[in-house]
Amino acid sequence: MRSSILTLCLAGATVLAGCSRDAAPAAGGATPTGGEPAAQSTAHFDQHSYAEPGKVRIEDLALELAVDFDNRQLGGSATYTLDWVDPQATQLVLDTRDLTIEKVVGEREDGKWVDLAFDMAQAQPPLGSKLVIEAPQRSERIRVTYRTAPEASGLQWLTPAMTAGGEQPFMFSQSQQIHARSWVPLQDTPQVRFTYTAHVTSPKDVMVLMSADNDPQAERDGDYTFKMPQPIPSYLLAIAAGDLVFEPIGERSGVWAEPSMVAKAAEEFADTEKMIDVTEALYGPYRWERYDMLVLPPSFPYGGMENPRLSFITPTVIVGDKSLVSLIAHELAHSWSGNLVTFATANHGWLNEGVTSYVEGRIVEELYGKERADMETVIARNALREGIGEMSDEAQSLAIRPGVEPAVDAPMGDVAYDKGAWFLSFLEDRFGRAEFDAFLRQYFDHFAFQGIDSNTFIEYASENLLAKYPGKVTRAELEQWIYEPGIPESAPEVASPRLDAVDAARKAWLDGGELPAKSATEAWTTQEWVHFVEGLPDTLSTAQLAALDAAYAFTGTANGEVAQRWYPLAVRSGYGEADAAIAVFLKRVGRRKLIMPTYEALAATPEGLALAEDVLAQARPGYHPITTGSVDAVIAKAKGDDTVATPAD
């Protein structure tokens, strides 16, 4: 999951939420008692799951679901085809959150289905409730009939008024990192990969899509079937329903969106097919058949989510000049790093996000030139440098050393993206681009459709890179990058003359000179404007802010990347002229990365806190539960209320 390379680091430790660099809220809370995750007999312990994949594993999932907009719920059944790994195992343990389990049955050898006993443990945040199913006959197939809660953390239900068209309701899922369990009872851990089929019914005027074989020619009839033949982990399970139409981009790519948005999105993302071709040339075949994108309403809490065959995309990157389409490159890159080769647990998130961010940069360079790729790299690394010193040693590291058991709330955030990508750039720098490209392509082939950890990467790189090209990198350097805090002195640097020119223009103005001439700034890209605003002091005088506004119209900008930097500065500086635009922005956009810095700035003063509470009261119905929980936690902290916890990832 990813916002774009232009991410402002959020304060505080965060648990990786998947692709989106829009940092996810921490999965806080102590290890549960009475329902704690059992010690798994597989090679990795996933502290975010109750499942026991060393005993039994889901190989295939068959869903029968009905979409009920009136009651804001999905209802139906999940049928699991199981591989009983341990010959002594007679229990299937599943992860759930706020589900109502109505019935559990197992298939006997004679084909008849019989009731199975089950027990739902008391919910323990952030993991939810452990569902234990007794299967004394070790049924090859087990079926759970259930329904979701209206407040399911992995689903958002929008009324027609909250959509662009205003006529039909909308629903979409967000499963990463551990939200799939809120709409399907599952072994909700990346250690388990399964194929799936689904039969979904809905109101006839609603189009339903899933992270599967969506037919661009499908007719709306309220009855839809799906198949995902490639095995995926649970966090890549996705569903959406609404007034959606399709616009093709290439032979195997296109855009789904509401009618008023689809043409604009297709134009903005017109280079998608070229991106697929570029990545295939670098790292091997695209193995998912189609790559389509679904543009969601602005309430989507992240920049993008790499659901296979159907990436979910925020509309906030559609700005008319393709300046933010590195997000599309990022989500596509996940088709190799993350979806194909997956982290064994979220504690090794850099294997998904760092590798993907590196591949993203290579795609951007191939299509838009080294100058643009370098600007985005410099912006990302500057943000990392600024924030990493305030993190704990654990949060500064890409992974935890083998043998050290992480806490349930082990932090992971932008370090996984930017330090991870920097690490791969270090390897490219030392070994040479051609040699490193060949290694990375071999890596994707070797571990395709598998989950691995950091130590596995080190062993593989030691054998296939270090030993093949001796004297260039030591194993100790690999381990320093992955397991040690901070940024190693060996980190290669990237320069951007265009951003250097922005620095000079900003400094000249702050030193008492004039603002850059419009003739110069007219050619600036989003990256240059972001760099200009990010480099301003923490506060400015209202006269200075007014001068900037008069020259560049920052207040009310349609560019969310600029807005998420300008509005906190305006709040900190007491620039009340921006308050009305801030309220409009916060009510219109639910993307966490873009709005949380402004809420945090508002919460720092009594006057700002009052505005934040007023805006949230109006925006709450249109926010995703993840976003609402994040804002609630910021406001509660400002008011000294420790009873409101940051929502589980």
- Which residues does the annotation mark as catalytic? 331, 417
Per the structure block, which two tokens stand in for 349? Answer: 């998130």
- 97 and 182 Cβ atoms separated by less than 8 Å: yes
Residue 622 DSSP class: G
**Angle CA(465)–CA(467)–CA(470) in degrees, nearest 5?**
95
- 201 and 110 Cβ atoms separated by less than 8 Å: no
- 130 and 93 Cβ atoms separated by less than 8 Å: yes
Sign of CA dihedral 49, 51, 53, 59: negative
- 270 and 251 Cβ atoms separated by less than 8 Å: no
Q: Is 545 helix (H, G, I), strand (E, B) or coil?
A: helix
**Per-residue exposure over 339-378, b if at least 16 CB sit within 10 Å of its own CB, e if not:** bbbbbbbbbbbbbbbbbbbbbbbbbbbbbbeeebbbbbbb
**Residue 97, burial from CB neighbour count under 10 angstroms (0-12, 13-18, 19+):** buried
What radius of gyration, in Å, describes the C-alpha atoms of the chain? Answer: 24
- Residue 196, φ and ψ in degrees, nearest 5: -150, 155
Cα distance between residue 228 and residue 308, in whole Å: 9
Q: Give how far Cα 91 sits from Cα of 42, 52, 104, 139, Å.
A: 16, 9, 13, 10
Residue type, 63: L
Neighbouring CB atoms inside 10 A of 294's CB total 24
Strands 56-68 and 193-201: parallel
Neighbouring CB atoms inside 10 A of 25's CB total 24
Q: Is 210 helix (H, G, I), strand (E, B) or coil?
A: strand
SS (H, E, C) 406-475: CCCCCCCCHHHHHHHHHHHHHHHHHHCHHHHHHHHHHHHHHCCCEEECHHHHHHHHHHHHHCCCCCCCCH
